[in-house]
Amino acid sequence: MSTVLYLIGEAFTNLRRNILVVTGAVLAVFVSLTLAFGALVFNELVRVNTLQWQEGEHIIIFLKDEGGPAAHRALLEEIQGFEEVRRAWYLDKAGAYREFQEMFSNQPALVETMTAAELPASIRVELDDISSYQEVQFRLVGHQLLRRLSVFSEGIERLLSLTQVLNSIGIGLVAVLGAAAVVLIANTIRMAIYARREEIAIMKLVGAGNWFIRVPFILEGATVGLLGGGLAVAAVYVSHQLLARVPTDILLRFQVQSDFLLQRGVLILTFGVIAGFLGSSLGLRRFLRV
């Protein structure tokens, strides 16, 4: 127990002696992990907003008048049974006319030229997964009640492509910045060790074991990682809370679930400690070869 306490004491003594170097290391880790944590939050924001953008009408099926409402209802029930469909609803001629009036409320002359009887009834479809729109489209093409099929395919493809690109960028940033944190800690610990290389050499000559020398530096690196990670978590959390209060339109959200922040915050703290452990271990290897 006395040896353990001594090694812990040595680690904190090293931190006090090299306060400027340690401060620089903590700030470097703070910047790296803040960017990494920010990339994780960015990825989650992309996911949340993608799900929100997916809500609503993806396919509009304009119907012929043949068969009347009864035939339309039968087709609606058939479509509601598709496994790709989250929900589908029927909009009759009166509803279509009300929608037309709202869409062209700034053009009263155009509204006056149109009547409800001239507008087609339609079925509106919302998909579970927007990438499945082609399967639903294929099933509906050629149906006897189909007047015209409106699929927001271009917008869907753009959204899918954008989501994939943004997710790839976010994952890449997390990987690169996480690796950068390990390298920064390793270099910082190497600088501290280099300043004490003669002391380490003397300890080796008098018979001190590698682990006896290594443990204080490993604890120092882990502490640096923990402090940097803690500051990163605090900075991202505060930034998220401020950003969530910014008024935005209905199509964009700047807020993620608290559970996500908590879980990823613990992950960043753990990663900071592990990065400090690995960085200090890598930084020591060269100087223990005496």
Q: Determine which helix (DSSP H) or strand (DSSP E) holds 142, and give its type and residue range.
A: none
The residues, ordered by sequence, that sit 6+ positions from 84 with a Cβ below 8 Å of its Cβ are: 127, 128, 129, 132, 135, 136
Shared domain check, 180 and 108: no
Shared domain check, 43 and 127: no
Shared domain check, 163 and 138: no
The residues, ordered by sequence, that sit 6+ positions from 83 with a Cβ below 8 Å of its Cβ are: 128
What pTM does this model have?
0.58
Query: Residue 195 domain-assigned?
Result: yes
CATH number for position 99: 3.30.70.3040
CA pair distance 124, 60, nearest whole angstrom:
5
Measure CA 47 to chain center.
6
Query: Residue 280 domain-assigned?
Result: yes
Query: Residue 72 domain-assigned?
Result: yes
What's the pLDDT score for residue 101? 86
Shared domain check, 102 and 48: no
What's the pLDDT score for residue 10? 64
Sheet holding 59-63, edge to edge: 85-91, 122-127, 59-63, 146-151
Shared domain check, 259 and 198: yes
Beta-bridge mates of residue 126: 87
Shared domain check, 233 and 89: no
Shared domain check, 115 and 255: no
Last residue of a domain, one of 126, 151, 176: 151
What's the pLDDT score for residue 234? 92
Query: Residue 127 domain-assigned?
Result: yes
Shared domain check, 275 and 166: yes
Please count the structural domains in the chain.
2
In the chain, which residues have pLDDT < 70? Answer: 1-18, 49-56, 152-160, 162-163, 181, 185-186, 188-190, 192-193, 195-197, 199-200, 208-211, 213, 246-254, 283-290
Query: Residue 290 domain-assigned?
Result: no
Shared domain check, 219 and 98: no
List, in sequence order, the alpha helices (H) in the chain. 2-17, 19-54, 68-80, 93-103, 108-112, 133-140, 153-195, 197-205, 210-244, 258-285
User: Which range marks the domain in which residue 110 is found?
Assistant: 58-151
Last residue of a domain, one of 109, 134, 151: 151
Last residue of a domain, one of 121, 151, 181: 151
Q: Determine which helix (DSSP H) or strand (DSSP E) holds 143, and give its type and residue range.
A: none
CB 275 within 8 Å of CB 181: yes
Strands 146-151 and 122-127: unpaired
Shared domain check, 40 and 166: yes
Q: How far is CA 35 from CA 30, 91, 152, 163, in A?
A: 8, 48, 35, 20
What's the pLDDT score for residue 251? 46
pLDDT tens-digit map of 173-196? 777 877 776 777 667 666 766 766
Shared domain check, 41 and 165: yes
Shared domain check, 62 and 46: no
